Amino acid sequence: MLSFHHLFLLIIGGAAGTTARYLVYIFIDKQIGHAFPWGTLIVNLTGSFMIGLLWGLFEKINITPSMRLFIFIGILGSFTTFSTFAFDNFNLIHQGAVKMMLLSVLLNNVGGIGLCFIGFYLTRIVL
């Protein structure tokens, strides 16, 4: 059952993750440009790595289910974003940049899953 406490954690975590995503996206856009959706890619890959890393860490240390909810769904769930990923790739198709769109899909999906595994197994090696 979802309690007020859990909703509050999701709201606070979601606000933190969304804000962090926006700041990273804007920073990357200013540094690299927006011909390719680098901001979305970096956010998604970083978030995927952090999910794997923290999942592995939390298997070794005791953390409450409420904190898992706050971190995984609240912060990291709102930090990474499928809707922005879809929008960026739609824009690439709309601009006729099909190869760039395919590269974006490949890097986000394969890279994200790969970095999640790397983060998880990195904690196994370190801990």
Q: Where are the domains of the chain?
A: 4-126
pTM, full prediction: 0.89
Share of the chain above pLDDT 70, in %: 99
* Of 56, 53, 35, residue with least CA distance to 45: 53
The pLDDT confidence band at residue 29, using thresholds 50, 70 and 90, is: very high
Residues with Cβ within 8 Å of 92's Cβ and at least 6 positions away in sequence, in order, are 37, 98, 100, 101, 104
How does pLDDT run across 32-73, given as a tens digit for each residue?
988 899 999 999 999 999 999 999 999 999 899 999 999 999
> What is the residue-averaged pLDDT of the chain?
95
Task: Give the pLDDT confidence score for residue 2 in this predicted structure.
Answer: 76
